[in-house]
Amino acid sequence: MSCTLLKFRLCVILIVLLHGSANGIALTADQLKEGRVLVSRVFQNKGRVDQAFWDGLPPEKRDLVLGELRWTIENRRQHSGGQEDFRDGGPALHLAMLGDQTGRTLTVQGYLMRPYERSDSILLLNDPRVISMVGETLFTGGELIQADSDLIFAADREVVRKDILRLLVQTHAFTEAVETWAGRMGPEKGIDPSGTELLKVWFKENEAALTAEDFKAVKPGAERASEPADSASAVSSVKFNATSPLDSRHTTHEPNQFLKTAPPNRGSYAWYVVAAIALTSIAAFGWAFGLLRKR
């Protein structure tokens, strides 16, 4: 075997071995390929973890899954060039859903950049530890309703309020009293300034327990004062589209109440239209026939 051919083969082997470690993740090309297959299998249920499959994987296969996700994140980080946010969903969210702290941190960072766009990621993660990481956003200012191009959305603090309440209800990490209180606070409301004020007080009172992950020690907050039925303001008509947790990140204007009435019954006057058409046709035919006779 010539020296040149030997060097070429050694270079090929070296490239394959270093392919997975180029980003600091020591995986070969074959391991990365197998890891991608396993990732697809773990998250094949509409982006949710197939817990039975994950629990049944041996430790070395789990390491392949985690390694492939970390490699993909690092690869995106290095090649984004400012054009792509490597924290936006995908691998970071998948890592977080598998209990990885780095994945959770990246997912929350991406969420806090644009809460109105990435609410679905936080709700899909469904991790009570997120609450202590996003709670400070309740104290930010700005207009209640904001616009970005043709998209109208709620202020960050309003989105975070809504998502915190949902997490309090759906994670089942808290006491029944807290879940019930969060449900009464109206997690379906897109704009609720008074509710945000109450949640700010609740967060400060329970911040230590949330940070310590002592979720059963978290207490319910104060109850909202009853509001008159006619006290609804213009902003209260802005609601989130809450058809599902994954579609609840944007705001839409509630249709005008006068447009909710049923359309008129057109059948009662349909025969007028038919008669008018028939008479017009007969008149036109008679006019044309008269012209032909004159000729």
Give per-residue pLDDT as tens, 214-242. 999 999 999 988 654 433 333 333 333 33
Note whether 177 and 218 are same-domain residues. yes
Note whether 182 and 250 are same-domain residues. yes
Check residue 266 and give its pLDDT.
39
User: Structure tokens of 143?
Assistant: 């207009």
Inside any domain, residue 272: no
What is the percentage of the chain residues whose pLDDT exceeds 90? 49
Inside any domain, residue 123: yes
Inside any domain, residue 263: no
Note whether 56 and 106 are same-domain residues. yes
What is the percentage of the chain residues whose pLDDT exceeds 70? 64
Q: Tell me what the pLDDT averaged over the chain comes to.
A: 75
Check residue 7 and give its pLDDT.
46
Note whether 125 and 141 are same-domain residues. yes
User: Structure tokens of 95?
Assistant: 């890592």
Note whether 65 and 152 are same-domain residues. no
User: Where residue 285 falls among pLDDT bands split at 50, 70, 90?
Assistant: low
Note whether 97 and 125 are same-domain residues. no
- Region 75-93 average pLDDT: 71
**Cα–Cα distances in angstroms (integers) from residue 192 to residues 28, 131, 201, in the given order:** 52, 18, 15
Encode pLDDT of 129-185 as tens digits.
Answer: 999 999 999 999 888 887 776 778 888 999 999 999 999 999 999 999 999 999 999
User: Where residue 248 falls among pLDDT bands split at 50, 70, 90?
Assistant: very low
Inside any domain, residue 9: yes
User: Pick from 113, 135, 153: which residue ends a domain?
Assistant: 113
Inside any domain, residue 65: yes
Residue 184 lies in domain:
115-223+233-257
Question: Taking 70 as the threshold, does the pLDDT of residue 81 lie above it?
Answer: no
Note whether 60 and 134 are same-domain residues. no
The residue written with tokens 């959770």 in the block is: 104
Weakest mean pLDDT among 2-16, 18-32, 63-77, 252-266: 252-266
Distance in angstroms (rounded) separating the CA atoms of residues 175 and 151: 37
> Which of 152, 107, 148, 101 minimizes the C-alpha distance to 125?
107
Note whether 58 and 106 are same-domain residues. yes
Inside any domain, residue 6: yes
Question: Taking 50 as the threshold, does the pLDDT of residue 257 lie above it?
Answer: no
Note whether 53 and 34 are same-domain residues. yes
User: Where residue 188 falls among pLDDT bands split at 50, 70, 90?
Assistant: confident
Note whether 106 and 176 are same-domain residues. no
Question: Taking 80 as the threshold, does the pLDDT of residue 107 lie above it?
Answer: yes
Check residue 232 and give its pLDDT.
38
The residue type found at 94 is H
Weakest mean pLDDT among 95-104, 252-261, 262-271: 252-261
User: Where residue 8 falls among pLDDT bands split at 50, 70, 90?
Assistant: very low
Q: Domain tally for the chain?
A: 2
User: Pick from 66, 88, 113: which residue ends a domain?
Assistant: 113
Check residue 154 and give its pLDDT.
86
Of residues 273 and 138, the one with the higher pLDDT is: 138
Burial annotation 229-242 (CB, 10 A radius, 16+ → b, else e): eeeeeeeeebbbee
> Which of 111, 139, 154 minimizes the C-alpha distance to 202?
139
Note whether 120 and 252 are same-domain residues. yes
Judge contact between 63 and 20, C-beta under 8 A: no
Inside any domain, residue 10: yes
Note whether 101 and 121 are same-domain residues. no
How much is the pTM? 0.67
User: Pick from 96, 113, 130: which residue ends a domain?
Assistant: 113
Inside any domain, residue 291: no
Check residue 58 and give its pLDDT.
96
Judge contact between 235 and 195, C-beta under 8 A: no
